[in-house]
């Protein structure tokens, strides 16, 4: 696995650090997005924070400037690779302690919600790595296909295929009320 920036000729790439923000605020915004991404891959906030910190330390060690337009895809790719490495070495913790009860929710309703989230988490975890990364970037990070293609170093059509297959797998794996998620009776 490589952590080096690769040259790109994609002129559509946009800077990852939002314009108008100070560099410190822009990096903090990126850090929050990277943590959310890592949490969806490894399902542990503390470990996600550590992985993002490790990725940012790698960027400093390699002297990668945050304002470089390729920094964002590199950071997401590096956090994704570190997350997958950690996920292969450990087991996810139960979600029960992380789920806040909603107003007026019964204990039975909360348990049902936790069980459904566990089914979704298990289904996402069972996806192949490429599909898992693509669906998390698309659905959780709300990235467009071109940005995901840059992060994953794939064509847009390959990313669309991974997202499509991941959605189909998740729908089939997470039945609701006796029918697949999103399906009709």
> Hey, what are 42's tokens?
């490894």
In DSSP terms, 175 is beta-bridged to 180
pLDDT in single tens digits along all 185 residues of the chain: 433 334 334 434 444 555 667 878 888 989 999 999 998 888 888 999 999 999 999 998 988 888 788 888 999 999 999 998 888 777 656 555 556 666 677 878 878 877 888 888 888 888 999 999 999 999 888 899 999 999 999 999 999 999 999 999 998 887 765 544 444 44
User: Distance of CA 175 to CAs 92, 112, 115, 165, Å?
Assistant: 22, 13, 12, 17
Confidence (pLDDT) at 16:
53
* 101 is a domain residue: no
In DSSP terms, 180 is beta-bridged to 175
**Both 82 and 33 in a single domain?**
yes
**Both 86 and 31 in a single domain?**
yes
**Both 89 and 116 in a single domain?**
no
Confidence (pLDDT) at 100:
64
Structural domain span for residue 30: 11-93
Confidence (pLDDT) at 4:
38
> Hey, what are 9's tokens?
């000729």
DSSP the chain: ---S------TT---SSPTTS-HHHHHHHHHHHHHHHHHHHHS-HHHHHHHHHHHHHHHHHTT--TTSTTHHHHHHHHHHHHHHHHHHHS-PPPSGGGPPPPTT--HHHHHHHHHHHHHHHHHHHHS-HHHHHHHIIIIIS---HHHHHHHHTS-HHHHHHHHHHHHHHHHHHSEETTEETT---
Q: How far apart are CA 76 and CA 141, in angstroms?
A: 11
* 104 is a domain residue: no
* 73 is a domain residue: yes
**Both 171 and 134 in a single domain?**
yes
**Both 74 and 29 in a single domain?**
yes
**Both 28 and 79 in a single domain?**
yes
**CATH code, domain with 162:** 1.10.10.10
The tens digit of pLDDT for each residue in 130-155 reads 999 999 999 888 899 999 999 999 99
**What total number of domains does the chain contain?**
2
Q: Is 23 exposed, middle or buried (0-12, 13-18, 19+ CB in 10 A)?
A: exposed
Confidence (pLDDT) at 76:
93
* 6 is a domain residue: no
User: What is the pTM (predicted TM-score) of this model?
Assistant: 0.63
**Both 66 and 131 in a single domain?**
no
* 50 is a domain residue: yes
């Amino acid at each position: 696995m490589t952590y080096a920036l690769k040259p790109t000729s994609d002129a559509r790439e946009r800077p990852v650090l939002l314009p108008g923000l100070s560099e410190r605020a822009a990096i903090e915004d990126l850090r929050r997005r990277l943590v959310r991404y890592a949490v969806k891959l490894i399902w542990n906030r503390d470990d996600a924070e550590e992985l993002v910190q490790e990725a940012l330390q790698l960027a400093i060690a390699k002297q990668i400037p945050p304002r470089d337009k390729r920094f964002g895809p590199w950071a997401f790719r590096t956090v994704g690779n570190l997350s997958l490495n950690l996920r292969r070495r450990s087991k996810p913790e139960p979600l029960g302690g992380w789920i806040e009860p909603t107003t007026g929710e019964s204990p039975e309703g909360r348990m049902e919600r936790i069980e459904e989230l566990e089914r979704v988490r298990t289904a996402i975890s069972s996806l192949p790595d490429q599909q898992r990364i693509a669906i998390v970037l698309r659905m959780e990070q709300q990235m467009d296909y071109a940005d995901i293609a840059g992060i994953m170093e794939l064509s847009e059509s390959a990313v669309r295929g991974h997202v499509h297959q991941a959605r189909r797998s998740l729908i089939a794996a997470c039945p609701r009320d006796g029918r697949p998620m999103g399906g009709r009776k």
